[in-house]
Structures are given as structure tokens and as C-alpha cells.
Structure 1
Amino acid sequence: MIRVLFAAPQAEWEAYRGPLACAFEAEQLDVALACDHDPAEVDYMIYAPDGPVRDFTPYTRCRAVLGLWAGVEGITGNPTLKIPLARMVDEGLTQGMVEWVCGHVLRHHLGLDAHIKGQDGTWRKGAPPLAWDRRVSILGLGVLGAACARALAGLGFDVAGWSRGPKDLGVIGTRHGEDGLEDVLRRAEILVLLLPLTEATRDLLDARRLAMLPRGAVLVNPGRGPLIDDAALLAALDEGRIGHATLDVFRTEPLPEGDPYWAHPRVTVTPHIASETRPASAARVIARNIRRAQGGQELHHLVDRESGY
């Protein structure tokens, strides 16, 4: 019998209990899944950072922690966590992110706001450029960033991507390092942020780097709020150097009432809905990973503690 602890908020239990049971059965795993196992008897932990576990020390038998969310910045610095940590890479989450990013890139590329908001009797002529004449840059080429880059390239956009280390996405141009970052920023008519949050990426988009973007560029951030220096972005928006910012993530969530982003005419706020973990597909990811561990194989999507993701 494999004892799996569900260490996430109680509100998630009802959504995940059924899909997890089905996924464990499909993988032919004999699992006792509960929210209240004796810590000394837990073999695997399904974890969310806003769940009940803060101290991992009592979980002396636990072989791995399996994150429910894609982001791991809330756990990587925990000094009591000494065992392997796997982040969530879920096909449902990836597909949702691709749809959200493509939707908002197309919205800004086509200039849809002028027609949706501007139905005042004015006949506005002028077609947008075609996608291959629009330069889109993506910061972050992990699973989500790479999937969005491929989808946008498939729509015809001129896509380039940047990552901290070398990546090969075939026909999509990729760059890395500080010089590569400057290159992708200077070309970006639409910039998409899909980097993980680490000490190296916090406030990455500061005033100096925002100034590298072409005047009137659009910023789309479904990654992490603290990737952006908020004061620098608001100043760039006020001055018209940044044409628009569509923001799905923020330093404080929910975004507080009265925050300047809410009322800014060049900002679109969406409430952290770019994508989310879907219980059915996430349960399959977790069950497959436990099956791998039980068979002596390395877990998929292991977190590198030094890099922070």
C-alpha cells in the first residue's frame, strides 16, 4: 500500500479526490490517498504552497513532493525540504496558456480594442499588418514558453525567444544571456513574459530594459507579477513608451482595490486566469510520476534547487 498525502487547501480536496483515484487505478497503483496520514507513514506528498504543510521534517519516509502548481517559488527556499520536488507540467495547463497567450497577442496584433470599444459611428479604415510582419518576443522557453512560441509561429508571427541558457526550438530564433535579452527586447512589438520567478528574474523588466522596447510596444504577462518593476511600467505607460500592458499576475493577489493598474487606460487586468491546473490531467501527471518512482526511475519535471525551477 502506497500512502499519498494530499497537502493542499481543503477546498481542492473535493475537486482532486475523484480524478486522483481514477488516475492511480489506471496506473495500477495501490494507493491510500488522504489528507491526514501520519507524517511518519507518508510515501509521497501532493503539495500546494498554500496548503497545511510548512515543515517537512516529520515526513521521514516520504520519497518525493509532487507540486500541484507550475510555480515553485513558494517552496524551493524551504530549508526543511530535503527530498526531490517535482513541479506540475500538465498538458491541460499548457493548452490553456497557449490559448490565453495567442488570444491576447492576436487581440493586440489586430487592434481589436479600437473596434470593440470604439463603436461611435466612425468608419475606421485600415487593416493590420499580417502576422509575419509582426515581431513577437517571448521571455522564458520552458514548457509553457516553448509551446506558446510554437503556436504563435504556427499562426505566422515572427517569433523570437529568450531563456537564461541555450535552447533549440528549431526554426524559432532563440537567444540567451544578457546580449540575447537585449536583442529580443529591441525587436519586440509584442512581448510575452513566461519566466519562472527566481532571484535572477525578479524585477527583470526594470526601467532600463523597458526602455529597450520599441516605442508603443505591448507587454503581455501571464508569468509572474514580480518579473516587472511596477513603478517603471506605470511610468512607461504614462509616457506612451509602452502602448499597452495586459497583466494576469501581480505581486499581491487579488490585486488590491485602488491599485493604479485597475484604472489605467493602457492596462488590461485579468485575475490570474491565463491558465490553471486541471484536476483530471494533473492527476494523470502525478500518478505517472509515482509509477515512475515506484519503478526506480527518476521523476519527471524535477526542480533544480540552485536555479529555482
Structure 2
Amino acid sequence: MSFLLKSTPERAQVWKPLFNKALPELEFHVWPETGNPEEVRFLAAWEPPPDLLKRFPNLEVIFSVGAGVDQFDMSAIPEHVTIIRMIEPGLTDGMVDYVLWATLTLHRDGLTYIAQQKKHVWKARPNLVAVQRRVGIMGLGKLGAPVAQALAINGFTCSGWSRSRHSMPNVTCYAGAEELGAFLATTDILVCLLPLTDATRGILNTSLFEKLPWGAQLINAARGAHLVVPDLLEMLESGQISAAILDVTDPEPLPTDSPLWDDPRIFITPHIASSSQTETAGRVLLDTVKRYLAGERNFPSRVDRSKGY
């Protein structure tokens, strides 16, 4: 029985000795070296190799080394294989930090002051305190819920919207398509942390933007394919959207001729909002494997194929 890692050398250097010490009976291989392919029961990867069933006929579990699984071709993964996404403290903390930074940047007119500095303009804008700024989180899962709590703790008037009903202190929660309009109507800064599925692809579009208050602002730290770029640019020109911080684009890297680069109302970061931390992620992965070997199957991070996350 063996575990196969298809990821970065940095992860391999930390995870292999960690597994060898804690589970010496489980052979640990680093792609492209696989050992006996019939012995591979566990695979951790960002993108699995092709022909999974032919390569590894006894594969039982695939781990995503990231929080999402939209990069997986689900049709190529046999139904009996369990898919588990990465949820670990370092990844969550990183997303909380990023969204807090982005929210405060927009809240305190950071993009306006950056543009003014480039033009050598000294001009103050009125300040609002956090409680006067309504921040709405789309997606209240393993990343969205901690982000919403952190924003509320920092004084923002916070709400959240998700497919299923949630409840959390100091956050007004909305659920389902029938409540999306009410959620958007009370959101000054919209944060997208949704999983990418067929239902959410292109959700950040003109129809949605028009339901926001005039001059609303956008943070997308989920996936680039959530956003319809021409619609955002049109909304920026009209003033319906006043600023956006984008950590993700479609495609990535963002092409050099994209109009997003040079718009002063848009701030771009290169998909760095959050990433799994090698040490803590390795320990979470090891713990999950141990629990699986002990017979556990109901993991909170287990992917529901019917939902796509």
C-alpha cells in the first residue's frame, strides 16, 4: 500500500519524512516515481495524472493540495474514489488576512489615493468608520465563514450568502436564489469566495452588479471564471461599481494586453490570497490518512460530487 504525491519539491521534502515517521508501513512516492502502481491507494495532487484508473487500478482517495477542486476533471475520476479538498489552518488564516486587507483598502479609498499619488494630487476624502460599511460574503464555507467572522469582529456590518442556510453571530445570513437580491441590496463591498461550479461560473455579471448599491466595490478571491470581465468594465465605466480588487483571473497568468491591468479602479494580485502552508497542510493530510485507514469516511472536507465542492 502506498501514497503518491504529485506536487512541488518543497512539499515533498517536508511531507515524505513526516509520513515515513508516522506511517512507516505506507510507502511514500513522489511523482513521477510511483513504485508499484497497483499499490497506490492515496494520491495528493493539484492536477491528477491522466488515465487514473488504468495507471492506479486500486486508488481509493484523491486529495487536492488546494482548497478547490474545480481544476479536477471529475468525469475522469472513478465514482468509487473519494475526493478530499485541503482545509488547513494556514490556508484559512491566509484568506482571512487577504480579505481583511482588501476590505480595508477599499474601505479607506486606497485605490483612489494610489491613483492620486501617481498624479501628485493631495486631496482628502471623507472617512467612514467600519460599522458604516456593509460587507457581504458570497460563500460561507470553510473559508468564507471565518472571513465573515473576522470582518464582523473588526467592526464591519457583515452579511453572508450561500446555497444552504447558515447561522453565525454578528453576521446576517441569506440563503438560496430567492434571497440573493436582498443580500446584494445591503452590500457595499462584495467579496466572492464561492466554489466554482456550473451554477456559479460567470455569476459576477451585469445582472448581479445592478442589484448592488450604486458605487459598490468588489473583491474576488475565489476563481477568475466567476467574473464576466466585460461586464465589470462596463459597470466601472457607468459608476455602478467604483473599484475592484482581483486576486484571480481567467486565464492565469493574466495576458499582458488585458484591459484589467491599466484600469486605475482595479487592483490585481497574482492569485496569492491564500495557499496551504507546507507544514500544517502535511499534518492535516497525515491525520486524514490515519483516520481513513482506521475506517473513518465522513470527512468535512470530503467533496460532494453532486454539488461540485
When the two structures are aligned, how many residues end up with a matched partner?
Answer: 302
The code of the aligned residue for 2:303 comes to V
C-alpha separation in 1, matches of 2:164 and 2:293: 32
The code of the aligned residue for 1:287 comes to L
The 3 A distance-change label for structure 1 pair 116 and 229 is closer
The 3 A distance-change label for structure 1 pair 126 and 207 is closer
Q: Please show how residues 246-261 of structure 1 align to structure 2 within 5 Å.
A: 246-261=245-260
Kindly state the Cα deviation for residue 226 of structure 1 after the two structures are TM-superposed.
1.2
The 3 A distance-change label for structure 1 pair 93 and 233 is same
Q: 1:74 aligns with which of 71, 76, 79?
A: 71
Give the aligned CA root-mean-square deviation in angstroms.
1.8
C-alpha separation in 1, matches of 2:122 and 2:255: 38
The code of the aligned residue for 2:95 comes to M
Kindly state the Cα deviation for residue 80 of structure 1 after the two structures are TM-superposed.
3.7
The code of the aligned residue for 2:51 comes to D
| 2:11 paired residue number | 16
The 3 A distance-change label for structure 1 pair 277 and 32 is same
| 2:231 paired residue number | 232
The code of the aligned residue for 2:99 comes to V
Kindly state the Cα deviation for residue 167 of structure 1 after the two structures are TM-superposed.
1.2
Q: Which runs of 5+ in 2 are unaligned?
A: none
| 1:285 paired residue number | 284
The code of the aligned residue for 1:56 comes to L
| 8 Å Cα contact 2:115/2:264 also seen in 1 | no
C-alpha separation in 2, matches of 1:243 and 1:108: 10
The 3 A distance-change label for structure 1 pair 79 and 125 is closer
| 8 Å Cα contact 1:3/1:42 also seen in 2 | yes
Kindly state the Cα deviation for residue 66 of structure 1 after the two structures are TM-superposed.
1.1
Give the percent of matched residue pairs that are identical in Structure 1 and Structure 2.
33
Q: Say whether 1:297 aligns with 2:296.
A: yes
Q: Say whether 1:32 aligns with 2:27.
A: yes
Q: Which runs of 5+ in 1 are unaligned?
A: none
Kindly state the Cα deviation for residue 74 of structure 1 after the two structures are TM-superposed.
2.1
| 2:267 paired residue number | 268
Q: 1:45 aligns with which of 40, 43, 46?
A: 43
C-alpha separation in 2, matches of 1:150 and 1:47: 30
The code of the aligned residue for 1:91 comes to P
| 8 Å Cα contact 2:111/2:267 also seen in 1 | no
Q: Which moved more, 1:212-221 or 1:175-184?
A: 175-184
| 8 Å Cα contact 1:221/1:249 also seen in 2 | yes
C-alpha separation in 2, matches of 1:90 and 1:213: 33
Q: What is the DSSP-based 3-state SS (H/G/I as helix, E as strand, rest coil) of the residue aligned with 2:116?
A: coil
C-alpha separation in 2, matches of 1:255 and 1:124: 32
Kindly state the Cα deviation for residue 81 of structure 1 after the two structures are TM-superposed.
2.6
The code of the aligned residue for 2:226 comes to L
| 1:162 paired residue number | 161
Q: Which moved more, 1:107-116 or 1:191-200?
A: 107-116
| 1:109 paired residue number | 107
TM-score with structure 2 length normalisation? Answer: 0.92
C-alpha separation in 2, matches of 1:116 and 1:252: 26
Q: Please show how residues 152-191 of structure 1 align to structure 2 within 5 Å.
A: 152-191=151-190
Q: What is the DSSP-based 3-state SS (H/G/I as helix, E as strand, rest coil) of the residue aligned with 1:66?
A: strand
TM-score with structure 1 length normalisation? Answer: 0.92
C-alpha separation in 2, matches of 1:93 and 1:177: 27
The code of the aligned residue for 2:40 comes to V
For residues 7-58 of structure 1, give each alpha carbon's deviation from its aligned partner in whole angstroms, at most 9, with x where no partner exists: 23xxx0x201222134325645533211222321102111211x5x122213
| 8 Å Cα contact 1:292/1:299 also seen in 2 | no
| 8 Å Cα contact 1:4/1:33 also seen in 2 | yes
| 1:87 paired residue number | 85
The 3 A distance-change label for structure 1 pair 293 and 29 is farther
C-alpha separation in 2, matches of 1:253 and 1:72: 16
Q: 1:54 aligns with which of 32, 43, 50?
A: 50
C-alpha separation in 1, matches of 2:210 and 2:86: 34
The 3 A distance-change label for structure 1 pair 173 and 81 is same
